């Protein structure tokens, strides 16, 4: 039975249960970012939230079926109740999206790329567009007197996020001010998500997290790095769903049994415990604990506390000493802030209503409320906002349409934890600096390949099921490295991948420069609303138009694949996780709707 049918039944059951408990239908919280869209922010096409990769031709001309879809769309873990594995089976688009709007995929850039000198390109990517020559922050300075074209509401000031990351990281991954103070941002290493997000497909990314000020303060309201580290460790335990090592901490002082041994002593770990229906005995420490007591902040497995922020830089690739690495120049700087709290019940009901709407109004497109300054709300409590290069290579605020593009991945997929991909994939405590570092401090080389919960190596499994290293099957370098001419995986290449993920994730120097050049052409055109994938040759494994009645809307995939966490919530070897709670599923038994675990 399809997700939408299940969700229809779930919605009926859930809403009926709600109505029995209360005469007044409960309402979901309305995030404050849900503001009216300014006239200048009208979308050029109604579905920028459906990414280009979703138009992939999963059935090849020779009849072979490729499945990259499972990476995003699969069995979810509560409180992600989307259960969207059935998306692997069909191109379930609303009617306005049947014609592929991402026409940049079909542009032939080979001549233009060949004409761009390597030296010119390298000089470009090695110049920062975030820092001025004196070390000040270019965007922050520009936003002090916001240009009229950036001022969406015309009030003469910038109301969105003003970038304040200093990119001075210490040995614990904390971002530091010039005087030694803390910005609150902390960088972490993570396993890049399969497919498009690998550097071999065009970009290098970093991610930083910042919890609200109270989470950085002790019980007296004073900034305290030790308190902040414990709260971040609690966050990691709740989102990655595993035990997390910490520096020896006096539990009597913080008033929390962090290690779950039933007494207040000296804790050396945060014990992940989440019992469905009962929750956990964990509490925030320091000033945040008082806010939790009064209900101003919350704590639950799989959810970030209110006020959590993420900064995500997307970079060009540089080549240093013959090796591709993260460049100084940013392609984009993305930002998320969690503005409101939604309970498990809120998330479950929202997912059911969304799926019910998909059944009743399949051709209705999603509303994207927001503007250039405040970003776009993702209907799960978060605002998404970003900056991208202008034609001269300077960072500018994304338009509303460009922000809405971000909503596609951070809203409505089963693979995320509270709308976020990276933090649940953070490197564990056994890695460099316990996983708290920036990629400028340690690169990908030598990182072991992560395993799925079922024992398969995660990246190897993706290669085997997709038969390629990207959704478009356009990365010929990965094809030649990891597959024979008849499409069979090369055992020796996979063995090397198990020990070192850089053998797959990093491109050759030649490919790195080609992809940089292709993307720079898009920047010069400012054609992001037609796609921002760095393709050199026209894509051939992508549908241009699905509105033709002769085109079947089935992918050719007949059996959905499971995600990496089915059965046990971890992608890391040797780190067992207990009390994982899969999202409930609605089943039909003898014509009756029943709920139960997978």
232-241 pLDDT tens trace: 999 999 999 9
Confidence of residue 18 (pLDDT cuts 50, 70, 90): very low
pLDDT at 36 exceeding the cut of 60: no
The predicted pLDDT at position 82 comes to 87
d(CA 511, CA 279): 49
Find where tokens 């280009």 sit.
Answer: 52
This prediction has a pTM of 0.90
Which letter does DSSP use for residue 70 in this model? G
pLDDT at 35 exceeding the cut of 70: no
The predicted pLDDT at position 408 comes to 85
Confidence of residue 412 (pLDDT cuts 50, 70, 90): confident
The predicted pLDDT at position 40 comes to 56
The predicted pLDDT at position 383 comes to 96
Q: pLDDT per residue over 114-144, tens digit each?
A: 999 999 999 999 999 999 999 999 999 999 9
The predicted pLDDT at position 549 comes to 65
Q: If you average pLDDT over every residue of the chain, what do you get?
A: 88
Confidence of residue 43 (pLDDT cuts 50, 70, 90): confident
Q: pLDDT per residue over 525-573, tens digit each?
A: 999 999 999 999 999 999 999 998 667 799 999 999 999 987 544 444 4
User: Which helix H or strand E contains 383, and what residues bound it?
Assistant: strand 382-389
Q: What are the tokens at 333? A: 């700087």
The predicted pLDDT at position 510 comes to 98
How buried is residue 133: exposed, middle or buried, by Cβ count under 10 Å (0-12/13-18/19+)? exposed
Q: What is the mean pLDDT of residues 193-202?
A: 96
Q: What is the mean pLDDT of residues 194-202?
A: 96
d(CA 10, CA 358): 13
3-class DSSP assignment, residue 327: strand
Pairing of strands 395-397, 174-176: unpaired
The predicted pLDDT at position 435 comes to 98
Q: Taking a C-beta distance cutoff of 8 angstroms, is the pair 593, 13 a contact?
A: yes
Q: What is the CA radius of gyration of the chain?
A: 24
Beta bridge partners of 325: 318
Beta bridge partners of 542: 56
**CB contact set of 557 (below 8 Å; sequence gap of 6+):** 58, 65, 67, 69, 88, 89
The predicted pLDDT at position 567 comes to 54
pLDDT at 29 exceeding the cut of 80: no
Confidence of residue 357 (pLDDT cuts 50, 70, 90): confident
pLDDT at 596 exceeding the cut of 90: no
DSSP letter string, 71-88: GTSS--BTT-----GGGG
How buried is residue 499: exposed, middle or buried, by Cβ count under 10 Å (0-12/13-18/19+)? exposed
Find where tokens 């059996």 sit.
Answer: 559
- Cα of 524 vs its chain's centroid, Å: 27
Output 571-574 pairs: Cβ under 8 A, ≥24 positions apart: 571/191, 571/425, 571/450, 571/451, 571/452, 571/453, 571/458, 572/242, 572/428, 572/450, 572/451, 573/448, 573/450, 573/451, 574/430
Q: pLDDT per residue over 273-312, tens digit each?
A: 998 888 899 999 999 999 999 999 999 999 999 999 999 9
């Amino acid at each position: 039975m399809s997700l939408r049918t299940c969700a229809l039944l779930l919605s009926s059951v859930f809403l009926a249960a709600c109505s029995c408990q209360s005469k007044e239908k409960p309402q979901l919280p309305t995030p404050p970012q849900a503001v009216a869209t300014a006239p200048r922010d009208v979308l050029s096409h109604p579905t920028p939230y459906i990414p280009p990769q979703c138009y992939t031709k999963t059935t090849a001309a020779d009849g072979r079926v490729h499945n990259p879809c499972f990476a995003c769309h699969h069995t979810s873990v509560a409180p992600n109740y989307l259960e969207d594995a059935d998306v692997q089976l069909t191109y379930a688009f609303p009617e306005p999206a049947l014609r592929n709007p991402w026409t940049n995929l079909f542009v032939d850039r080979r001549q233009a790329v060949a004409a761009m000198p390597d030296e010119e390109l390298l000089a470009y990517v090695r110049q920062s567009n975030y820092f001025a020559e004196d070390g000040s922050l270019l965007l922050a300075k520009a936003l002090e007197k916001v240009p009229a074209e950036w001022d969406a509401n015309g009030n003469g000031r910038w109301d969105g996020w003003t970038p304040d990351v200093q990119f001075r990281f210490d040995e614990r991954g904390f971002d530091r001010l010039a005087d030694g103070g803390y910005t609150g941002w902390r960088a972490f290493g993570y396993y890049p998500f399969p497919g498009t997000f690998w550097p071999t497909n065009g970009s290098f990314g970093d991610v930083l997290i910042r919890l609200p000020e109270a989470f950085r303060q002790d019980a007296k309201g004073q900034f305290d790095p030790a308190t902040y580290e414990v709260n971040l460790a609690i966050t990691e335990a709740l989102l990655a769903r595993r035990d997390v090592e910490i520096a020896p901490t006096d539990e009597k002082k913080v008033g929390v049994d962090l290690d779950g041994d039933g007494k207040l002593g000296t804790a050396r770990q945060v014990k992940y415990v989440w019992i469905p229906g009962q929750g956990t005995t964990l509490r925030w420490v320091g000033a945040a604990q008082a806010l939790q007591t009064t209900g101003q902040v919350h704590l639950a497995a799989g959810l970030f506390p209110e006020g959590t922020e993420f900064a995500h830089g997307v970079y060009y690739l540089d080549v240093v000493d013959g090796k591709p690495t993260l460049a100084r120049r940013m392609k984009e700087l993305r930002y998320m802030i969690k503005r409101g709290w939604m309970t498990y019940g809120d998330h479950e009901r929202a997912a059911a209503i969304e799926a019910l709407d998909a059944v009743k109004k399949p051709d209705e497109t999603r509303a994207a409320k927001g503007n250039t300054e405040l970003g776009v709300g993702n209907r799960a409590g978060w605002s998404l906002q970003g900056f991208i290069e202008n034609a001269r290579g300077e960072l500018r605020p994304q338009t509303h349409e460009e922000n809405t593009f971000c909503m596609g991945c951070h809203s409505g997929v089963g693979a995320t934890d509270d709308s976020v991909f990276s933090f649940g994939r953070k490197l564990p405590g056994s890695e460099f600096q316990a996983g708290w570092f920036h990629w400028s401090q340690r690169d990908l080389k030598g990182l072991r390949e992560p395993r799925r919960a079922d024992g398969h190596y995660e990246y190897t499994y993706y290669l085997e099921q997709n038969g390629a290293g990207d959704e478009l099957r356009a990365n010929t370098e990965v094809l030649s490295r990891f597959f024979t001419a008849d499409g069979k995986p090369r055992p020796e290449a996979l063995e090397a991948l198990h020990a070192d993920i850089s053998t797959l994730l990093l491109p050759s120097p030649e490919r790195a420069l080609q992809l940089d050049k292709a993307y720079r052409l898009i920047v010069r055109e400012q054609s992001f609303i037609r796609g921002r994938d760095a393709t050199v040759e026209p894509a051939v494994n992508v549908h241009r138009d699905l509105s033709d009645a002769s085109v079947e809307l089935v992918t050719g995939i007949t059996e959905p694949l499971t995600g990496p966490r089915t059965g046990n919530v971890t992608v890391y070897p040797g780190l067992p996780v207990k009390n994982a709670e899969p999202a409930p599923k609605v089943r039909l038994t003898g014509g009756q709707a029943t709920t139960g675990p997978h």
